[in-house]
Amino acid sequence: MPVSSLSTMQRSVAFGGAVFAFLATMLGTTLPTPLYPLYQAQLGFSQFTITVIFAAYAVGVIAALLVTGRWSDQLGRRPLLLAGLLAAVVSDLVFLQAEGLGAMLTGRVLSGLSAGVFTGTATVAVLELAPARLQPYAALAATAANMGGLGLGPVVAGLCASYLPDPLWLPYMLHLALAGLAILAIGFAPETVVRPERIRLGWQRPSVPAEVRAVFFPAAIAGFAGFSVLGFFTATAPAFMGQVMAVSNPIAIGAVAGSPFFASTLGQLLQARIPSPLRLPCGCLILLVGVMAIGTGIALASLACFLVGALVAGIGQGIAFRAGLGEVVAACPPIRRAEATSSFFVVAYVAISLPVVGIGLTARVIGLSITGELFAGLVALLVIMALILLRRQRHLMPIQGGTE
């Protein structure tokens, strides 16, 4: 049944189902965060092994973005979303039986594939399914489902690990139940794409049009800095809290690991209230303050300072991410927006994985605390570089403005 023929109530239900499926899928991708110390104790993994396991997630995300980025335009939104949910379900089943490194890596790659499919396809589906009265809020709903789900994953797993039995089993069973409901929601949702007579599937080659590069590079550098902070908290917050700050409570770990994602959602909401030319510089400055607080929290072994840094950096990341992506889209010819957007997200997910692997390697040589301080300093330098490029860019050419 075409979307246009649905009643307002039917479209609202379909819209709500798509938002729920988006949130449930992203929640599953960060469930293992507060459980990593338990896996380390049970399976004898080192901290470097944990960072490699986390990086496998980003490999899955990037692969899905590059390979399936355009597929939903050809095959339809529902088949891709159902495939993403299937990958999430299989990932849960793998984790339920994980007894070694191979299974953990497989589970994380599958989880990354589910996230990569949903990052692009679910965002578009939510926008297309929104009834007229909810259209002004559709983009925010997609953002909240994405970042909110990522933030809820560590919180849910932390609660399970603290108050319920079988902490390496129950979170995945809970997510299997959520994924089952999400499959029903997507299965009954209307298709918003008319398949072409001749289906052409191809991979999305990352590239940046020449006319967009002056805008793209400062936005991408700021995006790399912000997403590296998100990866830092998702992959290594348990290690820093346990070894540097002597905090091992799974609820505390889950809350701190999830906090920058919740703050990012708030930042993306707030950025619309900032004058367009100031959005990306403002986001960078807030991110810089947050990163400095994170480094200070590690140096002083202060959980309070560490948490404040996570929240401030998350707000800055949200503002900078949405503003930067908006400027790239606004400056790009419509026919090449998909490839520029895909390139932007590839940079973001490389940032989630590469720095945390570097942390795992460096910590083995100079220690975890000094490594954390060094990480904060390097991210701060990236943000300063983005600010310098922004200043130079806006001195040479008039600002085109971001999108809402």
* Whether residue 81 is found in the same domain as residue 24: yes
pLDDT at 4 over 90: no
Q: Residue 372's pLDDT is what?
A: 95
* Whether residue 4 is found in the same domain as residue 28: yes
Average pLDDT over residues 99-103: 91
Residue 196 counted as domain residue: no
Q: Residue 5's pLDDT is what?
A: 62
Q: Residue 1's pLDDT is what?
A: 54
* Whether residue 348 is found in the same domain as residue 235: yes
pLDDT in tens, 132-175: 888 888 888 888 898 999 999 999 999 999 998 899 999 999 99
pLDDT at 295 over 60: yes
Structure tokens, 89: 């379900």
Residue 199 counted as domain residue: no
Burial classification of residue 205, based on how many CB atoms lie within 10 Å of its CB (0-12 exposed, 13-18 middle, 19 or more buried): exposed
Helix (H, G, I), strand (E, B) or coil at 218: helix
The pLDDT confidence band at residue 334, using thresholds 50, 70 and 90, is low
Q: Residue 386's pLDDT is what?
A: 94
pLDDT in tens, 345-370: 888 888 988 888 889 889 989 999 99
* Whether residue 163 is found in the same domain as residue 61: yes
CA distance 354 to 340: 21
pLDDT at 16 over 50: yes
pLDDT in tens, 307-328: 999 999 999 999 999 888 888 8
* Whether residue 40 is found in the same domain as residue 170: yes
pLDDT at 271 over 60: yes
pLDDT in tens, 196-234: 778 777 776 767 778 888 888 999 999 999 999 999 998
CA distance 322 to 237: 24
97: which DSSP letter?
A: T
Q: Which of 161, 191, 221 is the last residue of a domain?
A: 191
Residue 198 counted as domain residue: no
Q: Which of 147, 165, 191 is the last residue of a domain?
A: 191
Q: Which of 191, 215, 237 is the last residue of a domain?
A: 191
Residue 123 counted as domain residue: yes
Residue 52 counted as domain residue: yes
User: CA distances (Å), 217 to each of 46, 54, 249, in order?
Assistant: 36, 26, 40
* Whether residue 359 is found in the same domain as residue 334: yes
* Whether residue 133 is found in the same domain as residue 246: no
pLDDT at 279 over 90: yes
Burial classification of residue 209, based on how many CB atoms lie within 10 Å of its CB (0-12 exposed, 13-18 middle, 19 or more buried): middle
* Whether residue 10 is found in the same domain as residue 135: yes
**What is the chain's Cα-based Rg?**
20
Residue 88 counted as domain residue: yes
pTM of the model: 0.86
* Helix spans in 44-129 (H): 47-68, 71-75, 77-96, 101-129
Average pLDDT, the chain: 88
Q: Residue 404's pLDDT is what?
A: 43
Q: Residue 6's pLDDT is what?
A: 66
* Whether residue 1 is found in the same domain as residue 138: yes
Q: How many domains in the chain? A: 2
* Whether residue 263 is found in the same domain as residue 340: yes
Q: Residue 399's pLDDT is what?
A: 43
Residue 197 counted as domain residue: no
Average pLDDT over residues 279-283: 95
**282 contacts: CB under 8 Å, gap ≥ 6:** 274, 319
Query: Residue 331: which region, alpha, beta or left (left: phi > 0; alpha: psi -120 to 50)?
Result: alpha
Percent pLDDT > 90 in the chain is 52
Whole domain around residue 161: which residue ranges?
1-191
pLDDT at 335 over 70: no
pLDDT in tens, 48-72: 888 889 889 988 988 888 887 777 7
Average pLDDT over residues 291-295: 97
Percent pLDDT > 70 in the chain is 94
Phi (first) and psi of residue 32, to 5 degrees:
-70, -15
Give the domain CATH number at 45: 1.20.1250.20
* Whether residue 306 is found in the same domain as residue 360: yes
* Whether residue 176 is found in the same domain as residue 209: no
Residue 14 counted as domain residue: yes
Average pLDDT over residues 6-33: 90
Q: Residue 230's pLDDT is what?
A: 94
Q: Residue 115's pLDDT is what?
A: 92
